[in-house]
A = this chain, B = another copy of it.
Amino acid sequence: MGRRKVRLELITNDSVRKTTFRKRKGGLLKKASELKTLCGVDTCAIIYTANDVEPHVWPSPEDAQRVLERFQSLPSKKQGKHMLNHEDYRPKDVSMLELKLENGIKRNQDLEMELLLLDHLSGKNVVDLIKDDEMKMLYQSVDDKIRDLTLQMANLKASEVEEDAYSTAPAN
């Protein structure tokens, strides 16, 4: 769409390529925005530039907000066939602690399942930039999750040690 038809192939000239990228990125975002508005679908554009390490995400602030909410309420459904059969990897006879450990495993599986989604998206070059504030919120959210998980594992370990104490030398 310009003075002349361009061949669909990598633009070798650096500056030209950058300029084209900038222009087209804008166009793509606009299109995505329109699609979202006109059709009521929650579009999202992303771009991992070879330069930046951080992925650039788009929507608007409200969108990012909603993303977080949706993410946090993300239930452990869909796990179906992806639920791992623990039996295969569990040393026999460790009954007492199984439940707790399983909880931990289950949690990890939840994470993995969400990771699956990430799979579909990571490694892609996306189209935009998330505001700093939103970024912080996202990070905060993950930090919280990490905290929970770590605490849980620590407790698990602690209780195991405890249990052990019981079976060999009752707590003072």
Interface size class of chain A, counting residues whose CB lies under 8 Å from the partner chain: 35 or more
Contact A28 B35 (CB under 8 A): yes
Contact A67 B10 (CB under 8 A): no
- Tell me the A68-127 residues at the B interface (CB within 8 Å): 68-71, 74, 78, 81-82, 84, 86, 89-91, 94, 97, 101, 104-105, 108-109, 111-127
B113/A111 in contact, CB under 8 A: no
**Closest chain B CB from A72 CB (angstroms):** 10
State the number of copies, please.
Answer: 2
Q: Once the chains bind, are B38 and A126 in contact (CB under 8 Å)?
A: no
Q: Tell me if A171 counts as interface (CB < 8 A to partner B).
A: no
User: Closest CB-CB distance, A18 to chain B, in whole Å?
Assistant: 8
Q: Is A172 an interface residue (CB 8 A)?
A: no
User: A residues within 8 Å of B by Cβ?
Assistant: 6, 8-11, 17, 20-21, 24-25, 27-28, 31-32, 34-50, 53, 55, 57, 59, 63, 66-71, 74, 78, 81-82, 84, 86, 89-91, 94, 97, 101, 104-105, 108-109, 111-127, 130, 138-139, 141-143, 145-147, 149-151, 153-155, 157-158, 160-161, 164, 167-169
